[in-house]
Structure 1
Amino acid sequence: MDLREPTADDAERIADVVESSMTASHSLSPQQIDRIVDSEFGGDAVSEKLDGETTLVRVAERGENIEGEAVVGYVEGVVDGDTGELSWLFVDPEHRGRGVGTALFESMREALRDAGASTLRATVLDANTEGGQFFERFGLEHAEERDLSVGDESLVEVVFADPSTVDAGDDEQPGDAGGDDLPGTETEDGTTTATTEDGQSVVVARDERESGTDAPFFVVYTDDSREDRYGYYCANCGSLDVTMDDTERLECPDCGNDHAERSSDAYDDSYL
C-alpha cells in the first residue's frame, strides 16, 4: 500500500471509510455515526483540516495486491506544543488484517515527531473498547478519560500516552479511583474483593474491564488464581448481579448501567 497526504478530491471517499469503519467497530447508532461523520468529515471539513497548520492527515491507498477503492484507511493527528495526539484512525473493514492500521499509526507517529512533538498521545472513543488494545501494542498506556463533543453528540474518549508521561494517579476511570472507592469492595495487597449475597468472597479483576454507560464493568473470579469466572461487577453501584444477553451485552439491573458489545469483526486483530 502507499501512504500519502490526501487531497480535497479524497474527501468523499474518506467519509465513506470513516462511516463503514465506525459501523463495524463502534457501539453507536447509525444516527450517531452519521452525525459524527457529517461534523468531522462531511462538507468542507476534510479540506479545512488539510489547510490547518497544526492538523496532520494521511491516507492509505491500496497497492497492486489490494483490490477495491483506492483509499482504504485514514489517520489524523494534531500537534500541541511538544505533544502530538493521534485523534482519529480508521480502516475500511474490507481491507483489515493487512497491516493498514499499523502502517497508518507508524506513519502518523513519525509525522508528529517531525512536526516537533516529543511525546505521543492517542485517543479512541469509549464506544470502541478494542481500540485501546491496538494502541497498547505500541507501548502506550491508559492515561485518562475525557468528555468529547462532536456535532450534537456528547461522547467519552479514552486517552493513551507514553508510559513516561502517565502518572500513577492518572490511570483512573469512572468508579475506579481506588480499591476502596469501588462500592462494596476491599483491597488488600493489591487484590480487590467483593462479597456476594450468600457471603462468598470473590475477586474483582481491575485489569479486565468492559466499558459502561455510567461506569466500567469488571470481570469477577471466585478466587485469586482467576481460573473460575464468577461473572461481572458493576463499578457504578457495586452489584454482582450483572447480566449478559445472547449478544454479549452487559447490563446491571440494579442501576441501569449497561454496555453494548460490538461484533466479532472488531477493532483489534482485524484492524492491524
Structure 2
Amino acid sequence: MEIREPEPDEAERIREVIDSSMTTSFRLSPGQIDGMTDDQFGDDTVADKIGDEGTLLHVVETGDEIEGTVIAGFVEGRLEDEWGEVNWLFVDPEHRGKGIGTELYETASETLRDRGAEHVCATVLEANTEGHQFVERFGLEHNGDRSIEVAGESLVKYVYTDADVDVDLPTESRADSEDAQADEFPETETTDGQLTATTDDGATVYVAREEEAESGNAAPFYVTYEDEAHTDQYGFYCANCGSLDVSMAEMDRLECSDCGNEHAERSEESYDDSYL
C-alpha cells in the first residue's frame, strides 16, 4: 500500500473509485451520484484541486507484481481558518477491509497538522450510510452541520471534531449550521437538544435524525418517536417537505401523502468495518 499525491491524468480512475463507493454506501439516486461526481470530481476540477496549495489530495495505490497496481482509495482535505478539514474520503468497495480508509484518514490528518492546522475535523455527507460510524471510530463527535450546494442540489454534511475541542468550528460550518438544519429538516425545531416536529393535533414527536433513516427519491425519511428516549415509535417524518403524513404500503414502501416523496431502493445498508 502506497499513499501519494495524485497526477492529473489519474482523474478518471479517481472518479471510478468515488462512483463505486457512493453507489455502495450513499443514500443517493444514480442521478444525484452522477451530478456530484461531475460537479466535484470531474477531470478539470481534480486538476484544479491538485494545483491548489490549500487543498490536500492523496490516493492509495495497492496491488501486486502479478496483477499490477491500482488506485483503491482517495481523500481530500483543506485548511480552513486554524482548522484542517478531511472533507471527502472514498475507498473502492472491492478493496475494503484492508485498512485503506484508516491509513488515508490518519495520513491526511497528520499532513494537515504539518501544514499548520491546530485542529482537525471531518465532514461526512448526511447520505453517507457508513461514513458516520467510520469517523466515530477515531473518537470524533458530531458537532455541527454544513449546507453545501452540489450540482444544483442542497445537501447537508455533518461536522465531526474531537470531543474535548472547545473552539469555534471553521467559519463556513458556523455560518451555515442553522441554515443546514432548516434545509434538511423543514417544519422542525430543537427541543432540549433533540430534533422535534409537531403533529396536526399539537403533539410533539422526536425525529431520529442520525439513525434509522430510509432513503427517498426526493429526500430521506426518518423514524419518529413519541418520547425523548426513542422507545415508542410514532411513524415517519419526510425530510423533503416536513410532513408526518407518511404511509407504509406493501413491501415496506414509504410514501409521503403531501409531496409524493417515495422510498427508493439502495444498494447496501450494512456497516461492516469495510473502511477500516
TM-score (norm 1): 0.74
Q: CA deviation at 1:94?
A: 0.8
Structure 2: gaps spanning 5 or more residues: none
* Percentage identity across paired residues of the two chains: 45
Per the alignment, residue 156 of structure 2 pairs with 157
- 1:118 is aligned to 118
Q: CA deviation at 1:111?
A: 1.2
Residue 149 of structure 2 corresponds to: 148
Distance 2:220 2:41 in 1: 30
Q: Residues 212 and 53 of structure 1: is their aligned pair in 2 closer, same or farther, counting only changes over 3 Å?
A: same
- Give 1:253's match in structure 2, choosing from 235, 246, 257: 257
Whether the aligned pair in 2 keeps the contact of 1:73 and 1:101 (CA below 8 Å) is: yes
RMSD: 4.1
**Partner residue in 1 for 2:11:** 11
2:255 is the alignment partner of 1:270: no
* Residues 243 and 252, structure 1, Cα contact 8 Å, conserved in 2: no
Decide whether aligned partners of structure 1 residues 188 and 24 sit closer, same or farther in structure 2, where only a CA change above 3 A counts: closer
Structure 1 CA distance for aligned equivalents of residues 48 and 85 of structure 2: 18
Query: Structure 1's 251 and 110: CA in aligned 2 closer, same or farther, altered over 3 A?
Result: farther
| Distance of 1:42 and 1:191 partners within structure 2 | 36
* 1:204 alignment partner in structure 2: 206
Q: Distance in 1 between matches of 2:36 and 2:236?
A: 31
Does the C-alpha gap of structure 1 residues 7 and 143 become closer, same or farther in structure 2, counting only changes over 3 Å? same
Q: Secondary structure at the match of 1:109?
A: helix
Which sections of structure 1, spanning at least 5 residues, go unmatched?
A: none
* Separation in 2, partners of 1:59, 1:84: 18
Give the CA deviation at 1:256: 3.5
Residues 104, 261 of structure 1: CA spacing in aligned structure 2 closer, same or farther, 3 A cutoff?
farther
Q: Is the CA contact (8 Å cut-off) linking 1:204 and 1:218 kept in structure 2?
A: no
2:205 and 2:225 in contact (8 A); partners too: yes
Provide closer, same or farther for how the CA distance between residues 129 and 142 of structure 1 changes in structure 2, counting only shifts above 3 A. farther
Q: After superposition, what is the alpha-carbon deviation per residue over 1:234-263, rounded to whole angstroms, capped at 9, x for unaligned? A: 4644525443664x6643223435564532
- Counterparts in 2 of 1:1-272, with a 5 A limit? 1-64=1-64, 70-138=70-138, 139-149=140-150, 152-162=151-161, 163=163, 164=165, 165=167, 170=177, 173-174=181-182, 182=188, 204-206=206-208, 208-209=210-211, 210=213, 217-221=221-225, 226-227=230-231, 229-234=233-238, 236-239=241-244, 241-243=246-248, 246=251, 250-257=254-261, 260=264, 262-264=266-268, 269-272=273-276
Instruction: Assess, with a 3 A threshold, how the Cα gap between structure 1 residues 175 and 18 changes in structure 2: closer, same or farther.
Output: closer
Corresponding residue SS for 1:146: strand
What is the rounded CA distance, in whole Å, between the counterparts of 1:189 and 1:78 in structure 2?
30
1:85 is paired with a residue whose SS is: strand
Q: Matched residues in 2 for 1:69 and 1:233: separation? A: 46
For residues 89 and 224 of structure 1, what CA distance do their matches in structure 2 show?
Answer: 33
Shift of 1:136: 2.8
